[in-house]
Amino acid sequence: MKHLFFLGVVVASIAVACGEPAPAPVQEPVLPGHAPFPFATIDDNIEHDTLLIHVTFDLGDSTFVMVAQNVADTFEGLRLYRYRFSADSTVEMIAVSPPAYDSWTMLPTFFPMDNLHPSDAMWVLANFGEKESWGQKLLLLDWEFMDMGFLDIALPERTMEDDTLRLKRRNIAPFMRYQESGDTAVFRFACDSVFLYDDQAGVLDQVLYAARVRYTFHRDEGLVLWLDGSKRPVKKPA
């Protein structure tokens, strides 16, 4: 491994009859660190007999990352594929991610590391889920995809359905902010609240203020959840 390491809710109602001023908008928290890097999405640029391509990203260095699955349904489901074109225009597969298994989505967001070109070593957060988000697979992409763990976190959203207020869990990756602290990767959340599936201490499925939560990754410690300053190493799947 070469390197390690909106929710602006604008309250629009104005109490004209009472002559009251409009409430001040609630601003998205300003956090240190980088938002996801906006690699361009492009039309499919390859044809593949066995793969169904969902979306393709141009990394700007003559390599591409696509989200694809086998045309014939398999339990493994979606994967990320990094590839490039050889001099004879054939496709060279550089790296293939672990599978998403029974998830319907594996939408990646990209966080290049400090002082590196955006297409060099980077963190990839892949949103897993079906109709709602199940959380984020954390991958390190450095010419291969390395599985670093799973973030049991989503963006809570309350919506009205059939006259009932329901809580939905959405992809939180666009609200993640990445920074480096020495040789530690730090992920925070530029939103008001988060949905935490597992606090790594026995409590499941809770909505928390986002400022209370962060994740870190260090090569010696692995993935760690921090809640109210308490350090909670993330359990690895059995």
pLDDT at position 206 over 70: yes
Please report, for the chain, the start and end positions of each structural domain, with discontinuous segments joined by +.
40-233
25-34 pLDDT per residue, tens: 445 566 778 9
- Please answer whether residues 180 and 4 qualify as being in contact, where contact means their C-beta atoms are separated by less than 8 angstroms: no
Provide the pLDDT for residue 134. 96
Can you read off the two tokens belonging to residue 61? 């260095």
Provide the pLDDT for residue 3. 41
- Please answer whether residues 60 and 109 qualify as being in contact, where contact means their C-beta atoms are separated by less than 8 angstroms: no
46-79 pLDDT per residue, tens: 987 888 999 999 999 999 999 999 888 788 889 9
**How far, in Å, CA of 32 to CA of 158, rounded?**
27
Most confident of the following: 56-60, 119-123, 158-162: 56-60
The pLDDT confidence band at residue 14, using thresholds 50, 70 and 90, is very low
pTM, entire model: 0.83
pLDDT at position 208 over 70: yes
181-198 pLDDT per residue, tens: 999 999 999 999 999 999
